[in-house]
Chains A and B, each alone.
Chain A
Amino acid sequence: MNELIALGFQLFMLVTAIAVVFQKNNFTVIILMSVYSLIAATLYMFNQAPDVAIAEVAINAAIIPLIYVIAISRQREIIVYDTLHHGDITPGKVFEGEIYTYLYTFSKKNKLRLNVCSDLEGDDATLIREMNVDFIITKEEETYVLKGKSHHMLMKKMVKELKQHPHIRTELIEEGHDLD
């Protein structure tokens, strides 16, 4: 009987492993991976290895998914540093201005999450190089200036789109060739 149950778990494990490969949504993949390691832990229990089972559950079903959730939610986010509203950004509040509507439609079109922040310190080059800030907004009289890395894929797209725009100007920041 025990062997039959173990065989069933092994088949279920195979199914989840194949589902991980073919699933497209990243968060579903995380859940499936933790399901996979829960089944693996059950199989360790069947083979009289409770210590390994506890380690498997604690590491692969709890900590690794938490870290993956952070890493993947980062992947689909653009961080914009706003110098115009220094220090008074409240979550959920929408600003008026052409650049904000443009960024909003841009992020909707590319299925990204927009993260406008204002509580950083440092000059433009170091902010972009070290703090993972994607874009910086400043204003010169009536035109908004959008600064970004010259090698950034999204920046190249934006430069193409904003060529004809009357109130938004783009500015490229050359990236240093340090570590990578």
Chain B
Amino acid sequence: MVEAMNEFGVLYNDEARLYFQTNGFLETGSLNLVTGIYLDYRLLDTLFEAGILLVAVSGVSWIAQHDHIEHNPLFMLDRFKIPELFVSIARVLYPIVLLFGIYVVFNGHLAPGGGFQGGSILATALLILYYIDLNKKTNLTRIFFIEKVLYLLLLLISSLSFFTRGFLFTNVVSPDMGVAWQSVFLITLNVLIGAKVALGLTAIFIAFLKEGR
């Protein structure tokens, strides 16, 4: 443990950093220590963060709700001339962005990234789709339903550890089973968070489009 003064005379120590560097990988099974912290040590905070996004999405959709029959909810986009250059480059970029988002989600425990970042990249890909295909129709209520189910699954899977290890909100697999089994849990949670974030951001965007007409 190192205690030192920085140039402003404030005392700081690197106890926590050294602890995570020496024990983080062994305890959580995650090479990326950030993922190790938000999916193991501080899983409860992540659950509340996901809950805040859910509340935000439902608030936006409640403000933007319409009970009218809408033949073409994206009507305003076809009046709003999209440059052809943008559309043709977006067609090329769409699969690449989608693939990169999936890579970031699945590799969250090995490399920088994770559920939230990958989910927002996936959401970008889905939003590009609305600029390419103007007549795309989406069932918003189904998106909200899937998002709620994903959140419940997240709560359920993260509280499973109470039965296997005796603590709430930590890895289901104990460190003795090996890193490979622990990373299964990390990948599952990352995929759930990624899908939830992508659907939530897309739902906000569609709500804006509908409100916009």
Contact = CB atoms under 8 A, between A and B. Distances in A.
A50 B209 CA distance: 32
B124 interface: yes
A98 interface: no
Interface in B163-213: 201, 204-205, 208-209, 211-213
Interface in B65-108: 66-72, 75-76, 78-80, 104
Nearest to B38: A51
Contacts of B212: 70-71, 73-74, 132
A74 B76 contact: yes
B85 to A, nearest CB: 15
A165 B117 CA distance: 58
B29 interface: no
Interface in B96-130: 104, 112-114, 116-117, 120-121, 123-124, 127
Given A70-B208, A132-B213, A51 B112 contact: yes
A120 B80 CA distance: 18
A131 B68 contact: yes
Given A50-B112, A51-B34, A62-B124, A122 B208 contact: no
Given A51-B34, A51-B112, A91-B78, A126 B68 contact: yes
A35 B78 CA distance: 28
B161 interface: no
A66 B76 CA distance: 15
Interface class of chain A by DSSP: helix
Contact of A54 (B71, B79, B113, B201): B113
A66 B132 CA distance: 13
Interface in A47-67: 50-51, 53-55, 58-59, 62-63, 66-67
Contacts of B79: 77, 91, 113, 115
Contacts of A126: 68
B46 interface: no
B34 to A, nearest CB: 5
B53 to A, nearest CB: 12
Contacts of A58: 117, 120-121, 124
Interface in A15-46: none
A119 B75 contact: yes
A79 B79 CA distance: 11
B32 interface: yes
B31 to A, nearest CB: 13
A73 B79 CA distance: 10
A122 B66 CA distance: 11
Nearest to B120: A58
Contacts of B211: 132
Given A54-B104, A55-B120, A130 B66 contact: yes
A117 interface: yes
B124 A63 contact: yes
- For the complex of A and B, the 9 pairs showing the least CB-CB separation, nearest first, are A50-B112, A58-B120, A54-B117, A62-B124, A119-B71, A74-B212, A51-B34, A115-B79, A55-B117
Interface of B: 32, 34, 66-72, 75-76, 78-80, 104, 112-114, 116-117, 120-121, 123-124, 127, 201, 204-205, 208-209, 211-213
Given A55-B120, A113-B80, A131-B213, 6 more contacts: A54-B112, A73-B80, A79-B76, A115-B76, A119-B72, A130-B68
